Amino acid sequence: MPRWTALSLGTVLFLSGCAGGDATDAGGEDRGTAASSRVSEAPVPDDMTVSVGTVADADATIHTVGVSRDGSDERASAYDLGVQTAVDRALGELAEQGTGPEDPLMVLNPYGTNTTGLYTRFATSGDGRLEYTVTSDGHEDFTRTAKDHDADPAVFETQIVGLVPGTENTLTTTWHPEDGDAVERTVTLTAPASRAGYSTHMDRDLRGDPEQLTDGMYLLSGAYHARPYGFLFDNAGSMRAELPLDGHMLDRFETYRDTLVYPVDERTLARVNGVGRVVDTYDLGRYEMHHDFTLTEDDRALILASDTSRDSVEDVLISLDLTTGEHREVVDFADLLAGYRDLTNPYEAPGSDGTIIDDWLHLNSVDHHAGEDSVIVSGRENSTIIKVGDVHGEPRVEYLIGTDELWEGSGHEDDLLRKVGDFSDTGGQHTVIRHDDAEPEDGRYHLSIFDNSYWSVLSREDYTGPAPRDASTVSGTAEDENSFVRTYLVDENERTYSQVDAVDVPYSSIVSSAQQRDGNTVVNSGQAFELSERDPEDRVIATYSYEGERYMYRGVKYAFDDFWYDA
């Protein structure tokens, strides 16, 4: 673990004056990331203290920037925009140290959003590209081309992502100017240990050609024992980034105007740019996010949530305007499915000390179709896939896919699509995603689904009807049970659905995910603690075993091209 050496630069640093330049309003065009225009309009609180130090376990000068409040030794939240302004000003004071690629300014995780991210800035004589390789004992080399986040050709600014936590890393950077000779530099440093105490290695079982694995890193999020962190692992199974949050799990990443959008606590979404700076946050008021969100093509986020002003949970959809920060409830499923809602009952939460919850639907996945302004959501509690049309207008149920008998007496019997073929319906499914063909046929498309194949309808104590044929009542994981990745063909014209594929995967009664990516499928069985990537013929290329307690909610993959890495 590195030792931090404080530099005596004053009690409160860089809190008067600024680096210059103006920032745009919150939610508008991205704020600049150059030192000359990085400062936001968020005020710096009077009780905020900024300290600058260096990493002791390094053979070159690598700075640190720490921000605390109220005299606390604890680092202030990265998602306080005042903290970000304070860091901006500290970096502005340090910027002159980055005289060139042979002597860049390097600061470890200044913005507090990636515990091993290395902010890097230096002056240049023109355009060029920065390639880097991270070498660490026990880990494969990690090589990328960094993206420049400063529009000024006389400055290169980036975040180097790829240091392994708690390990001695040798970082070799090579600057390739458009004109002139390459400049190579090597620095060795021990990165801080995982703040969550999480293992930096997944055990990989390679069953195919590693070249078949898609480019990118796997995001593991929602670990039961390390919930407020997201972990990024490369194809070899090495941790390359740790993203701390403020209490919520990292449901997913979405990209918006050169930033990543993701939840940081139950009521806050944040936008973070490529150098790690939080450029905006969105407060959702009385709504608490739950499990999933997505972005629309017209600058809005659609978010599954609970309305904390009422007893029922996980049964509303809210819409957040990313340009204004305003949000509103667009679908109240308790109202939309009122006939079914009347058939349900509150129940004791499993594993609790007698806590009664009204979790009659338990939404866990949302997918938006822009052309129709429709969403497809997954209800875990009643094992039903629900399509809702005209989300931002007059929402309506367009169809249901689920166990017919469960919906008897609800008034929604006519909304159920007719099954064509002999196959099991889903049980407690997750991540229902719509896929339209390259040349789509109106009303026909595929759904990919992680089918947990677990049947537990605690909110229907009176239900005595059948369960899906393949569904288990075993809670947790079991070697003699299976979950499935299913693919359905939906025909809205004929109001039918059929199964075109079903692949056995390790059993997980709750959580988990399936993601289609560049022809491959990334599957996370969250209670079996196994992640896998499979080729287009459903053959396993590699499986990864990771540590956990109870579950890991989601495992998906992102390339980060044109964000951290040059496209």
Each residue's pLDDT expressed in tens, for the chain with a length of 567 residues: 232 223 222 223 333 223 333 332 333 333 233 333 333 568 888 888 999 999 999 999 999 999 998 888 788 899 999 999 999 999 999 999 999 999 999 999 999 999 999 999 999 998 999 999 999 999 999 999 999 999 999 999 999 999 999 999 999 999 999 989 999 999 999 999 999 999 999 999 999 999 999 999 999 999 999 989 999 999 999 999 999 999 889 999 999 999 999 999 999 999 999 999 999 999 999 999 999 999 999 999 999 999 999 999 999 999 999 999 999 999 999 999 999 999 999 999 988 888 999 999 999 999 999 999 999 999 999 999 999 999 999 999 999 999 999 999 999 999 999 999 999 999 999 999 999 987 878 899 999 999 999 999 999 999 999 999 999 999 999 999 999 999 999 999 999 999 999 999 999 999 999 999 999 999 999 999 999 999 999 999 999 999 999 999 999 999 999 999 998
Tell me if 134 is assigned to some domain.
yes
Q: Are 213 and 539 in contact (CB under 8 A)?
A: no
- The 10 Å Cβ neighbour count of residue 54 is 18
As a whole number of angstroms, the distance between CA 14 and CA 107 comes to: 16
Q: For 182-221, b where at least 16 C-beta lie within 10 A, e where not — what string? A: ebebebebbbbbbbbebbbbbebeeeeeeeebeebbbbbb
Q: Tell me: the pLDDT tens digits for 534-565? A: 999 999 999 999 999 999 999 999 999 999 99
Which residues are 301's β-sheet partners? 295, 320
Q: How far apart are CA 535 and CA 439, in angstroms?
A: 23
For the record, the structure tokens of 341 come out as 């809602």
Assess if residue 565 is contained within a domain. no
Residues 449/431, Cβ–Cβ less than 8 Å: yes
Class of residue 89 by CB neighbours under 10 A (exposed 0-12, middle 13-18, buried 19+): buried
Q: Is residue 123 part of a domain?
A: yes
State pLDDT tens for residues 179-209. 899 999 999 999 999 999 999 999 999 999 9
With CA atoms as reference, report the closest residue to 186 among 108, 102, 118: 102
Element (H, E) at 506: strand 496-506
Tell me whether residue 554 is in a domain.
no
State which residues form the domain around 102.
Answer: 4-190
Check: CB of residue 469 under 8 Å from CB of residue 489.
no
The reply to whether 37 falls in a domain is yes
The tally of domains found in the chain comes to: 1
Q: Is residue 55 part of a domain?
A: yes
Exposure string of 503-529, with b = 16+ CB inside 10 Å and e = fewer, is: bebbbbbbbbbbbeeeebbbbbbbbbb
Evaluate whether residue 94 is within a structural domain: yes
Helix H or strand E segment including 451 = strand 444-451
Q: Counting Cβ atoms within 10 Å, is residue 493 exposed (0-12), middle (13-18) or buried (19+)?
A: exposed
Neighbours of 354 (CB within 10 A): 6
**Residue 93 within a domain:** yes
Torsion sign, CA atoms 8, 10, 12, 16? negative
